[in-house]
Structure 1
Amino acid sequence: MRNAIAATTAVALTMSSVAAHAFCGFYVSGSDKKMFNDATNVVLMRSGTRTVLSMQNDYRGPLEDFAMVIPVPVVLKQNDVRVVPKAVFDRIDSLGSPRLVEYWEQDPCPMPVVATTLDRQYTRNMPMPAPRAPSMSRGASKSSDEGDAMGGADMRRQAVPPVLASFTVHPPTVTAGVATPMTWSYAYSNQPWPEPSCTVDHGVGRVQSGVPKDLVLDASTNFKLTCANSAGRSTKDVRVDVVKIEAKFDVAEYQILILSAAEAAGLDQWLKLNGYKIPADAEALLRPYVESGSKFFVAKVVPKKVQMIDGRAALSPLRFHYDSEEFSLPIRLGMANSSGKQDLIVNILSPDKRYEVANYKNVTIPTNFDVKPAVKTRFAEFYAALFDKTVEKHPGAVVTEYAWTSAVRPEGIYGVDCDPCPPEPPIDGDTMALGADVIGGPMVRGGYVLTRLHARYGKNDMKDDLRFKEGKPITGGREVWSRTGLEYNAQPGAQNFFQARYAIRYWWTGPIKCQNPQRGVWGGPPDGRMNQVVAASKVAFAPRGKMELAGVIKRDLWEIGYKKAPPAVKPAPPTSKKTMWFGGGALLGLMLIGIGARRRRKSV
């Protein structure tokens, strides 16, 4: 059997889903209703130092003016950002998804039929498709001057120097280069006399508590307030953070800002001041990105342009690209939005290599074992149970579910290599939609290695982003037999051909009329139909805890130390006293007959 099958289709292709997936950033909302991000599917295309990141999120929450905040390493321009058709994501997700196949034992007589149903090449010439083109609210702080309102009544009163108790400014964060009404508020801890005169440095000049004054800043600044009278002076400092809008443009339903900030607190405040109810712990999550010099991709959504499907916002997948020596995926911000456990599915397309994580444990999913027919209608539920048992055995691990090589197509021939292929594999032009147009090389003509990584975690489980490194080629999960049996688990290989694959097998039930039947030859159904392949999609939303894994697997999962359920023992039918008496009487009768027979023989 060949290692790969070329599946070709028409024209046009894309990290829950068991908590189907963890978000790279967090959602911020203009409402105070809770917003959750339980599922994220990410496709990364990487070659050299260039990364193309495409992201699809399953969002659950109110549509009132919400947005996404994603750390990025560089300032993105409008030409760097576009939306990707959702069908592209669905096809890539289907290609790398765990799959369930069915096999039928072929007629053992008169001639063995080799299982070649899946070993067909579906290739047809098709035209190459063209690449797809793709208020500042004013504060009203009300601090009052508690100085003595003498009105000049007693000029002989002894002078009292001011002692400042507090000094604040609103807003505490402003947009760079934008004139902003700043309200400087201060209070004394005593009653100074005569009335002090108060000024703020850096060109602000004289101020009055509670009275706004326009200010333009280009960088975060520490301001000093000095209040003085004839008896003395007092000073206090306050900082105004500046958030810079590096770029601003619209893409589809998204209004996009690229922000930079010197302080995490400043970015946190800027979002709040612009009407977003961001997660309570957002500042702590933002801090490492701000300190590393990251920019922030804020994609605000226009609610009237978003369609709701089954209570979730059908957001267009976003794609952007950048150049960076580091190959990583920011996931910590997404923890602020999880309603519990969340899953991240990361599909990585590379010209010639498999990827794994460099900063977490790597494991491969147990693969290539038979299951009971009941799994067919509950495959996503089955796989969620298997995945959970794998992570239970390897806490904190990132699980490899797929690593497969698809060869470059000859001129005029298009398709993708898979074995077996899912119901809807990627089609021609999908790699262009996902970034081959800015990556180039063999991926333009369908030559790539697809790696699928799956992580499931809670809010406090992941302390760092996912950082990727090249992994050695592996094989596993194929209908490849040897003297020792079916290909087992993940093994080192010359090329990547690994997948999460499970099988239901139906033994031959017809007549066997030959002397030397050949058993265990597997293929398609007796009526000649193509084998049906079931992909485990939307695993994040599959019911959990309702399927007992041990009861549906047909071998022990040595890879994770998990045993199948022992076969049920049928209880013996109960026996009555009458039956016992009859049995004893019958035995006694036989014994008497035997004795009588011996006596007759002796008397002869």
Structure 2
Amino acid sequence: MKVVRILITFLLSLAVIICFSPTAWAFCGFYVAKADTKLYNKASQVVIARDGDRTVLTMANDYQGDVKEFALIVPVPVVLQQEQVNVGNPEVIERLDAFSAPRLVEYFDSDPCAPNYEARVSNMEGGQTRGPSQVEINALGVTVEERFTVGEYDILILSAQESQGLATWLKQNGYQIPQGASQLLQPYIRQNMKFFVAKVNLAEFEKTGYQSLRPLQMAYESPRFMLPIRLGMVNATTDQELLIYLLSPQGQAELTNYRTVKIPSDAEIPVFVKNEFSDFYKAMFQTAYEGEGKKVAFLEYAWDMASCDPCSAEPLDPEELRQAGVFWLTPNLGNNVFITRLHVRYTRDKFPEDLIFQETSNRQLFQGRYVLRHPYTGEIQCPAGREYQRYLQERQEKEVRTLANLTGWDIQDIKKKANISQYQPTNWWQNLWR
């Protein structure tokens, strides 16, 4: 049995119909590509719904293996009672992920020789949318503040006087904590934080009919707006992936103790990336991650939950938002939820502190968005068409350079996959007697 990482799975699922202001020889297009494989096999997902000092924290579990081996220890700011803990719906986290996921947008060039082409392009250019139940005190200085079962989980809320005593208590009670955990527990004890400890109740788990563990949710009041990540690095042998969905009635939530950088966005890239989106995004993220010194959080999405443009999935409805922890919605008064999606890749040396957030009134919109422009493939027999072919080659060469800069991929390999159209200039007299 082991203590596993606190959080969860990054699934990218996209679908969109949009209309965006075109460059020359483009028209209102639609998105059909899907990135329906997981970008990261080992990632964590957390949803934090917060208004004022009130917080609902949802943790999805990416635990792999026999559920009887599962154990989770999370520092929390207050003693939680049974009614403050809930087993959540994993589909809601998938919905949040899909709604805020980085997205591909496709456009298809129209026939440059079609009648009234220039008028149609002109008309499009204005269209951009862009009390404790049981107390046990022993010589180890550990107090069981609460003990209860919620769904398939047996929950303990512990307080401790010192980390070695807590580590010893956990081992004596069947929790095999990893080496080095005692040292990481000490800062939380100094802050008088409590410890949320969960194990699977096998009898209750069998009743659920689920094949995997459902997310745990906790509701509490505290001025501390933070997420403990250091315990998740105890067993880490490589970088950890963390996706955080922050829901607020105010606006963007931001980190106060680490820089936040927008993920590269609005790049026009070769159309073959449609079938390699997972590889593209991972390579692009790694390049940006290394370029920022491996010590920043990346903003992947910030938007009003009542709308989207373009939409990678439909906005969550009021019931889904309630299941995600949103507690401030008033019936018939509309949706005032703003979502901030942060992607953190972290290691112990680059992220020595837990994540500290603050709410802001900033409602500026942002999304990770990547554009594919399909060339016109029909017959071209007009002067405007030959100009289009010249322009197309320049555009495709620029897309190749952009992709190479974003990902670090070899530019010659990209050119082979891109299959760039080769423009053949005509002699000056060929159009003379047409």
Counterpart AA for 1:52: V
How far off its partner does 1:287 sit?
Answer: 0.6
Helix, strand or coil at the partner of 1:375: helix
Please say if residues 432 and 444 of structure 1, whose CA atoms lie closer than 8 Å, have aligned partners that are also in contact: no
Which residue does 2:145 correspond to in 1?
246
Instruction: Determine the C-alpha separation between the residues in 2 that align with 1:247 and 1:370.
Output: 54
Change (3 A) 1:327 1:84: same
Helix, strand or coil at the partner of 1:382: helix
Pick the aligned partner of 1:436 from 306, 326, 331: 326
Deviations 1:83-106 (A, max 9, x none): 221110000011111111211123
Please say if residues 243 and 260 of structure 1, whose CA atoms lie closer than 8 Å, have aligned partners that are also in contact: yes
Change (3 A) 1:327 1:18: farther
Pick the aligned partner of 2:77 from 49, 73, 83: 73
2:426 pairs with 1:426:
no
Deviations 1:281-319 (A, max 9, x none): 110111100110001111111246558xxxx97210111
Identity across the alignment (%): 39
Please say if residues 19 and 456 of structure 1, whose CA atoms lie closer than 8 Å, have aligned partners that are also in contact: no
Instruction: Determine the C-alpha separation between the residues in 2 that align with 1:450 and 1:53.
Output: 14
Instruction: Determine the C-alpha separation between the residues in 2 that align with 1:71 and 1:553.
Output: 47
How far off its partner does 1:252 sit?
Answer: 1.2
Which residue does 1:541 correspond to in 2?
none
Please say if residues 167 and 182 of structure 2, whose CA atoms lie closer than 8 Å, have aligned partners that are also in contact: yes
Which residue does 2:247 correspond to in 1?
349
Which residue does 1:455 correspond to in 2?
344
Helix, strand or coil at the partner of 1:421: coil
Deviations 1:205-248 (A, max 9, x none): xxxxxxxxxxxxx4x6xxxxxxxxxxxxxxxxxxx223111112
Please say if residues 18 and 342 of structure 1, whose CA atoms lie closer than 8 Å, have aligned partners that are also in contact: no
Which residue does 1:504 correspond to in 2?
372
Counterpart AA for 2:311: C
Instruction: Determine the C-alpha separation between the residues in 2 that align with 1:82 and 1:389.
Output: 39
- Greater radius of gyration (CA): 1
Which residue does 1:7 correspond to in 2?
none
Which residue does 2:259 correspond to in 1?
361
Deviations 1:525-556 (A, max 9, x none): xxxxxxxxxxxxxxxxxxxxxxxxxx995343
Which residue does 1:134 correspond to in 2?
none
User: After superposition, where does 1:490-569 map in structure 2 within 5 Å?
Assistant: 495-511=363-379, 554-556=400-402, 565=411
Pick the aligned partner of 2:169 from 267, 270, 289: 270
Which residue does 2:87 correspond to in 1?
83
Helix, strand or coil at the partner of 1:272: helix
2:307 pairs with 1:417:
yes
Please say if residues 227 and 354 of structure 2, whose CA atoms lie closer than 8 Å, have aligned partners that are also in contact: yes
User: After superposition, where does 1:78-117 map in structure 2 within 5 Å?
Assistant: 78-108=82-112, 109-111=114-116, 112=120
Instruction: Determine the C-alpha separation between the residues in 1 that align with 2:222 and 2:346.
Output: 27
Change (3 A) 1:564 1:499: farther
TM-score, normalised relative to structure 2 = 0.73
Helix, strand or coil at the partner of 1:467: strand
Helix, strand or coil at the partner of 1:418: coil
Change (3 A) 1:458 1:61: farther
2:281 pairs with 1:392:
no
List alignment gaps of at least 5 residues for structure 1.
4-15, 21-37, 121-175, 179-217, 221-239, 407-415, 474-494, 521-550, 570-604
How far off its partner does 1:404 sit?
Answer: 1.0
Helix, strand or coil at the partner of 1:346: strand
Counterpart AA for 2:67: L
Change (3 A) 1:405 1:440: closer
Which residue does 2:353 correspond to in 1?
464
Which residue does 1:52 correspond to in 2?
56
How far off its partner does 1:514 sit?
Answer: 7.3
Change (3 A) 1:177 1:259: closer
Instruction: Determine the C-alpha separation between the residues in 1 that align with 2:219 and 2:332.
Output: 16
Instruction: Determine the C-alpha separation between the residues in 1 that align with 2:200 and 2:369.
Output: 39
Please say if residues 269 and 403 of structure 2, whose CA atoms lie closer than 8 Å, have aligned partners that are also in contact: no
How far off its partner does 1:322 sit?
Answer: 1.1
Q: Which moved more, 1:440-449 or 1:358-367?
A: 440-449
Instruction: Determine the C-alpha separation between the residues in 2 that align with 1:458 and 1:253.
Output: 31
Counterpart AA for 2:95: R
Change (3 A) 1:443 1:260: farther
User: After superposition, where does 1:165-244 map in structure 2 within 5 Å?
Assistant: 178=136, 218=137, 240-244=139-143
Helix, strand or coil at the partner of 1:64: helix
Instruction: Determine the C-alpha separation between the residues in 2 that align with 1:403 and 1:337.
Output: 32
Helix, strand or coil at the partner of 1:74: coil
List alignment gaps of at least 5 residues for structure 2.
1-18, 22-36, 389-396, 417-434
Counterpart AA for 2:191: S
Please say if residues 369 and 554 of structure 1, whose CA atoms lie closer than 8 Å, have aligned partners that are also in contact: no
Change (3 A) 1:370 1:306: farther
Deviations 1:96-138 (A, max 9, x none): 111112111234422326669x999xxxxxxxxxxxxxxxxxx
Helix, strand or coil at the partner of 1:241: coil
TM-score, normalised relative to structure 1 = 0.54
Which residue does 2:301 correspond to in 1?
402
Instruction: Determine the C-alpha separation between the residues in 2 that align with 1:381 and 1:268.
Output: 41
Deviations 1:475-512 (A, max 9, x none): xxxxxxxxxxxxxxxxxxxx422100112111223345
Superposition CA RMSD, Å: 3.6
Instruction: Determine the C-alpha separation between the residues in 1 that align with 2:254 and 2:276.
Output: 29
Helix, strand or coil at the partner of 1:59: coil
More helix by share: 2
More strand by share: 1
